[in-house]
């Protein structure tokens, strides 16, 4: 990762972007040549979160190396505004410097990743960035050296089939289980089976966690998938 100095010129551009609309978080990218690329905040709750689309990142990369990501926090009652734990996790996961401009404090905060590996447990939930799909990708790469690369379909079953998983009848270690939590068809979710009746789940808008594969979850398991290389 290239180092990047947060110069006064960069600060001025970030602040100007943030103050264009103080009702939502601004966000963008900084290139190695100190260019500031403003991006559209794609989050549905853009007053408290920000998401930069993959397409916007690819466009920026055509102009130079991306060395940092920035966002703002809108005016609030917080006296001590700071980067969230979620911001720090994302910075570590993507190995990129993160910059926050707090409108309330009129102050900048920076975080440079340390290279600490991302654990499977305790991940924040950020759709399309850190969710059950990404958890499966990371797990299969690290534990089994199997690349999961097709993310064109976000339907769980189609996603698995597109990535060379086949439905099986009994769960073994490393399998992916589709579970209807509380037997609710609208709450289907992929989980990783670790063996010994242990699962890793990454619930929507919650931290990833390990849980027992108890009778209720077994009963609500709709399908079990195993990778063709297993």
Asked if the model's pLDDT at residue 51 lies above 80, the reply is: yes
Tens digits of per-residue pLDDT, 185-201?
667 899 999 999 999 99
β-strands 97-102, 66-73: how paired? parallel
Q: What is the Cα–Cα distance from 123 to 72, expressed in whole angstroms?
A: 22
Mean pLDDT of 151-160: 91
In percent, the amount of the chain with pLDDT more than 90 equals 68
Asked if the model's pLDDT at residue 20 lies above 90, the reply is: yes
pLDDT at 124: 83
In percent, the amount of the chain with pLDDT more than 70 equals 95
- Strand order, beta sheet including 27-31: 36-39, 27-31, 66-73, 97-102, 107-111
| pTM for the model | 0.70
Q: What is the Cα–Cα distance from 195 to 170, expressed in whole angstroms?
A: 11
pLDDT at 185: 65
pLDDT at 92: 86
């Amino acid at each position: 990762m290239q180092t990047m100095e947060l110069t006064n010129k960069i600060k001025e551009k970030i602040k100007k972007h943030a103050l264009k609309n103080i009702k939502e978080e601004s966000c963008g990218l900084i290139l190695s040549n100190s260019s500031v690329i403003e991006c559209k905040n794609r989050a549905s709750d853009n007053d408290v979160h920000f998401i930069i689309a993959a397409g916007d990142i690819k466009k920026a990369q055509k102009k130079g190396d991306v060395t940092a990501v920035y966002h703002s926090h809108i005016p609030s009652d917080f006296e001590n505004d700071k980067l969230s734990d979620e911001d720090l996790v994302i910075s570590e996961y993507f190995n990129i410097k993160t910059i926050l401009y707090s409108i309330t404090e009129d102050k900048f905060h920076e975080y440079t990743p340390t290279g600490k590996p991302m654990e499977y447990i305790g991940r924040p939930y950020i759709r399309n960035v850190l969710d059950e799909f990404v958890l499966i990708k990371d797990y299969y790469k690290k534990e089994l050296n199997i690349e999961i690369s097709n993310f064109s379909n976000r339907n769980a079953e189609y996603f698995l089939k597109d990535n060379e998983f086949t439905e099986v009848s009994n769960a073994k270690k490393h399998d992916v289980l589709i579970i209807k939590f509380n037997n609710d068809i609208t709450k289907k979710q992929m989980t990783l089976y670790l063996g010994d009746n242990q699962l890793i789940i990454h619930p929507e808008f919650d931290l990833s966690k390990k849980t027992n594969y108890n009778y209720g979850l077994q009963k609500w398991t709709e399908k079990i998938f195993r990778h063709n290389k297993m």
